[in-house]
Amino acid sequence: MLINGIYIILLHAKKIPPHLAIAIDGRVFSLSVNGPKINGKMSELISMIQSKAIKTLFFQLSEREDYTTLQLIEKMKKLTLAYSGLAPLFHGRAGLDAGGVTCLNPIKEFCRSVYKTNIAGVNFIFDLLPELGNEVIARFHLNMESCLSEGVFYLKKYTMEDINNMIRRLQPGKIP
């Protein structure tokens, strides 16, 4: 479980905002203040989540018969690396915000491309998940037991200002 398949991952699910990543057959892709991260190992991410007790949600997406696993991995790699030139936006200059680019960008582009998801009004993960509809085939969590109410977790809504504030706090040389 969690190694095979396609998963949207919400790390620090209770934080405003959570950090997002996507995993395809054990390879993890994300965009952070330090730039794109590609081909990370899901097994290492799960170990870190468990050792640090990070509250994490996983949304498993349906398999796509019209793509091979290798094609999906290459697509996600390309979409994530498309933001590599933006890393200077995230650090090095005090007070600069993300300019609308967040860890959601490559994920929503992947969903648009692979699942034909309408991303026109999608700015946050709580906008994207309903657009995916039946493509979300399962949900899993780690370290969320105390956050569930009758087996349900309610993701708090946040704003672009919340995201920009987090990016500023995470800039290298800043104390979080």
Q: Assess contact for 140 and 56: CB atoms under 8 A.
A: no
Find tokens 């999906």 and name the residue: 72
Per-residue pLDDT, 172: 58
Q: What predicted TM-score, i.e. pTM, was given to this entire model?
A: 0.87
pLDDT digits (tens, 9 = 90+) for 105-120: 999 999 999 999 999 9
pLDDT digits (tens, 9 = 90+) for 39-85: 999 999 999 999 999 999 999 999 988 999 999 999 999 999 987 75
3-state secondary structure the chain: CCCCCEEEEEECCCCCCCEEEEEECCEEEEEECCEEEEEEEHHHHHHHHHHCCCCEEEEEECCCCCCCHHHHHHHHHHHHHCCHHHHHHHCCCCCCCCCCCCCHHHHHHHHHHHHCCCCCCCCCHHHHHHHHHHHEEEEEEECCHHHCECCECCCCCCCHHHHHHHHHHHCCCCCC
Confidence bin at 88 (pLDDT 50/70/90): very low
> What is the CA 147 to chain-centroid distance, rounded?
20
Q: Assess contact for 45 and 111: CB atoms under 8 A.
A: no
